[in-house]
Amino acid sequence: MSTTAFKGAFINNAWVEEAGASDISVDNPATGKCCGTISALTAVSANAALEAAKSAAEGWGKMSMNDRATAIAAYAAKLRAHREEIVALLIQETGKVTGNAEYDFDMLPNCLDFHVEEAKRNYGSVIPSMDGGALSYTKYSAVGVVAAVLTWNFPILNLAYKLGPILATGCTTVIKPSEVTPLATSRCIELITGTGIPAGVVNCVNGTGLALVQPLCASKIPRLLTTIGSSVMGRRMIGYGATSIKRFSLELGGDCPVLIFADCDLEAAVNDIVGLKYDNGGQICVSPNRVLVERSVYEKFIEMAAAKAKGYVHGSGADDGAVLQPVCSQQSLDRLVGYVDDAVAKGARKICGGAKADREGFFLEATILADTTKDMKCSCEEIFGPILTVQPFETADEAFTKANDSDMGLSGYVYTSSLATTLRAEEELMCGNVLINGIIYSIELPHGGVKESGYGKDISHLSLRDYYEIRRVSIKRSGM
């Protein structure tokens, strides 16, 4: 298999090499073999990229909405013309199945289209004057330079969630892709050349988080720091950013609870939860982490979930049937096996799976652990892998107490036919996304967490608020 290389940083619409920078190998998790390389850049490149974004900010921010929309549309069209190439890169660096990789890619041009249309309708407000002495209104202006740190599970979707509102609002940016999956992201970013988006509006620095996140965040140039990543990364970015007053938009870790009540459509619940758990190798921030099942249907749920889990085969690329993708690295695989061993040692029942699949690559068997408890790592840490944990509850009070017993609060799922339980979930479940009787995610729906899962919103019209300054303008009436 041929490999793909991106040398240096993408600054002012060109790749600029950094003297002395070493290479980082990018491995295909389905084979464990190298599929590409990037440069391990340092603060030198980070600072140069920030300066380029700063220089481009005024011109891009003052460009008319129509002109920005034309340039962004040209970029979206160019991306779509390269769809097959980019999907192939995604499959190589992530081990995704084809349908998953296509969904990942499609979010980028779709987000570019969506956020431009939302920005066109982001109207200010006229504020009545109490004494009639002034005309006052609100005005939206681009925040300015945005430093964006992305994670590896959905490389292009994560880019889309940030780049859509950045470009639509007139901001400029420096993107730091994950060093685990930087290839498709780098290719998407370099395709911005020749689209009418000026040089310096979008810049990209590759390398490790330890080398780049601190200089990107500590610089006084960016006005907004944003990420899709772990809570640990979010806290680091807040700390590094304290050199100046900055804004933050953070979508952080998930510890997502699922509440299965006995009165629900159990088959539908099993299909939803098992499907979401094993999608993308379990590496989804909104993946079910703690499944709480009412005692009277507890064993039935486990039986039905296990029957579906045992139907999964391991693979990458072709996605006929139930295909379980690899996890991102050997380190991640070892961590997940450690979760299983820890849970079993503390009394959990291993219903199925729990070991590395007998094949090349970083594949874990589809795993179900029953009777999990709070003292097990898999019940109090974000799993981010194909391990479904299940525990019983007796009453609704117990279910909601356990569901909220977490520092995280990204998504929570409830399955019930009771209106009273539904309304209680809407009121009590402390998650940024509360989903009742279905897995419901879409570009027009605000996405974000509470508590340690961050703040700010991705996608939907609400995401634009993070990238705008809202200014009040008042004009005194003559003679008043």
Helices of type H across 414-459? 419-428
Asked if the model's pLDDT at residue 300 lies above 80, the reply is yes
Quick check: is 365 catalytic? no
Q: What is the β-pairing status of strands 288-294 and 387-393?
A: parallel
Asked if the model's pLDDT at residue 65 lies above 70, the reply is yes
d(CA 145, CA 123) in angstroms, rounded, equals 22
Looking at the domain assignment, is residue 480 inside a domain? no
With bands split at pLDDT 50, 70 and 90, how would you rate the model's confidence at 462?
Answer: very high
Considering the domain architecture, whether residues 236 and 367 belong to the same structural domain is answered as: no
Question: How many structural domains is the chain composed of?
Answer: 2
H/E element, 332: helix 330-345
Quick check: is 251 catalytic? yes
**For position 321, what pLDDT does the model report?**
77
Active-site option among 171, 188, 285, 431: 285
What tens digit of pLDDT does each residue of 422-433 get?
999 999 999 999
CA neighbours closer than 13 Å in the CB half-sphere of residue 219: 24
Considering the domain architecture, whether residues 325 and 407 belong to the same structural domain is answered as: yes
With bands split at pLDDT 50, 70 and 90, how would you rate the model's confidence at 154?
Answer: very high
Looking at the domain assignment, is residue 235 inside a domain? yes
Considering the domain architecture, whether residues 216 and 274 belong to the same structural domain is answered as: no
Average pLDDT over every residue of 81-87: 98
With bands split at pLDDT 50, 70 and 90, how would you rate the model's confidence at 318?
Answer: confident
Looking at the domain assignment, is residue 460 inside a domain? yes
Looking at the domain assignment, is residue 477 inside a domain? no
Rounded to the nearest integer, the mean pLDDT of the chain is 96
Distance of CA 206 to the CA centre of its chain: 18
Secondary structure of 351-364 in the HEC alphabet? EECCCECCCCCCCE
**pLDDT above 90 as % of the chain:** 97
Considering the domain architecture, whether residues 61 and 178 belong to the same structural domain is answered as: yes
8-state DSSP, 428: H
Asked if the model's pLDDT at residue 52 lies above 60, the reply is yes
Token pair belonging to 376: 């097990």
Considering the domain architecture, whether residues 222 and 273 belong to the same structural domain is answered as: no
Considering the domain architecture, whether residues 460 and 416 belong to the same structural domain is answered as: no
Helix (H, G, I), strand (E, B) or coil at 407: coil
Looking at the domain assignment, is residue 374 inside a domain? yes
| Contact between 184 and 90 (Cβ < 8 Å) | yes
**DSSP letters spanning 277-325:** HHGGGG--TTSEEEEEEEGGGHHHHHHHHHHHHTT-EE-SB--SSSEEP
Looking at the domain assignment, is residue 118 inside a domain? yes
Asked if the model's pLDDT at residue 1 lies above 60, the reply is no
Q: Any idea what the CATH number is for the domain that residue 71 is in? A: 3.40.605.10
Per-state percent for the chain, helix, strand, coil, to nearest 5: 40, 25, 35
Residue in 30, 29, 49 with CA at minimum distance from that of residue 39:
49
Considering the domain architecture, whether residues 59 and 201 belong to the same structural domain is answered as: yes
Lowest mean pLDDT among 62-76, 168-182, 312-326: 312-326
Average pLDDT over every residue of 338-342: 98
**For position 2, what pLDDT does the model report?**
63
The 10 Å Cβ neighbour count of residue 262 is: 17
Token pair belonging to 126: 């006229």
What tens digit of pLDDT does each residue of 164-223 get?
999 999 999 999 999 999 999 999 999 999 999 999 999 999 999 999 999 999 999 999
Q: Any idea what the CATH number is for the domain that residue 434 is in? A: 3.40.309.10
The 10 Å Cβ neighbour count of residue 55 is: 15
Task: Specify the residue for token string 């009742």.
Answer: 436
**For position 478, what pLDDT does the model report?**
86
Q: What is the β-pairing status of strands 145-149 and 224-228?
A: parallel
Asked if the model's pLDDT at residue 458 lies above 60, the reply is yes
The 10 Å Cβ neighbour count of residue 94 is: 30
With bands split at pLDDT 50, 70 and 90, how would you rate the model's confidence at 479?
Answer: confident
Considering the domain architecture, whether residues 239 and 272 belong to the same structural domain is answered as: no
Active-site option among 51, 93, 179, 251: 251
Average pLDDT over every residue of 235-252: 97
Asked if the model's pLDDT at residue 319 lies above 90, the reply is no
Considering the domain architecture, whether residues 240 and 281 belong to the same structural domain is answered as: no
**For position 480, what pLDDT does the model report?**
66
d(CA 265, CA 189) in angstroms, rounded, equals 44
Considering the domain architecture, whether residues 211 and 260 belong to the same structural domain is answered as: no
Residue in 469, 472, 256 with CA at minimum distance from that of residue 379:
256
**For position 67, what pLDDT does the model report?**
98
Looking at the domain assignment, is residue 436 inside a domain? yes
Considering the domain architecture, whether residues 88 and 219 belong to the same structural domain is answered as: yes
Query: What is the span of the domain harbouring residue 41?
Result: 4-252+453-472
**DSSP letters spanning 38-82:** EE---HHHHHHHHHHHHHHHHHHHHS-HHHHHHHHHHHHHHHHHT
Asked if the model's pLDDT at residue 457 lies above 90, the reply is yes
- Output 77-86 pairs: Cβ under 8 A, ≥24 positions apart: 77/109, 78/191, 78/194, 78/195, 79/108, 79/109, 79/112, 79/188, 79/191, 80/109, 82/187, 82/191, 85/187, 86/156, 86/184, 86/187, 86/188
CA-CA-CA-CA dihedral for 316, 317, 323, 325, to nearest 10: 40
What tens digit of pLDDT does each residue of 95-142 get?
999 999 999 999 999 999 999 999 999 999 999 999 999 999 999 999
Average pLDDT over every residue of 457-479: 95
Considering the domain architecture, whether residues 406 and 428 belong to the same structural domain is answered as: yes
Looking at the domain assignment, is residue 447 inside a domain? no
